[in-house]
């Protein structure tokens, strides 16, 4: 067998530079706080049917569990592999926007006020942290 003549892709200078920039972008206290807030937002959204009490809004409760778990899993990848996942912050933004309008779409007109307020606030926070995560990725790519 012959030895490879070119270096492995993991040792490519561009890959190493990308990892270094991503590490610098996510190692600041502000970036870590944004990641933690995003993860807590997803966990709250998943648990909100029991925290707020969505009695009578079963479809919205199931919806929040699914969207909250998806949001938490999505932003959970940012801390460990930001160089590969920062572009998915736009998907997190879409989930946040969907959370804001979902009480009217999922439940129709039979909804509870505190469930709507909970979803709007959680969706707004999700949108803000998703935009902050996207900004960290764009600031990294401009360098």
DSSP state of 108: T
CB 68 within 8 Å of CB 48: yes
CB 28 within 8 Å of CB 82: no
Q: What percent of the chain has pLDDT over 90?
A: 32
User: Could you report the per-residue pLDDT of 16-70, keeping only the tens digit for each?
Assistant: 665 555 555 555 777 778 888 989 999 999 999 999 888 778 888 899 999 999 9
All residues at 6 or more sequence positions from 132 whose CB lies less than 8 Å from its CB, including other chains: 34
d(Cα 143, Cα 127) in Å, to the nearest integer?
Answer: 25
Predicted local confidence at residue 99, as pLDDT: 94
pLDDT for residue 75 is more than 80: yes
């Amino acid at each position: 067998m012959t030895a490879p003549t070119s270096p492995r892709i993991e040792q490519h200078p561009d890959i190493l530079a990308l990892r270094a920039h991503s590490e610098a972008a996510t190692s600041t206290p502000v970036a870590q706080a944004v990641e933690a807030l995003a993860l807590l937002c997803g966990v709250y959204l998943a648990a909100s049917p029991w925290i707020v009490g969505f009695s009578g809004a079963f479809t919205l409760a199931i919806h929040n569990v699914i969207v909250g778990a998806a949001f938490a899993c999505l932003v959970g990848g940012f801390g460990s592999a930001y160089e590969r996942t920062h572009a998915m912050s736009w998907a997190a933004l879409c989930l946040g926007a969907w959370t804001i309008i979902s009480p009217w779409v999922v439940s129709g007109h039979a909804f509870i006020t505190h469930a709507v307020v909970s979803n709007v606030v959680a969706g707004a926070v999700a949108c803000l942290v998703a935009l902050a995560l996207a900004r960290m990725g764009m600031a990294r790519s401009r360098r």
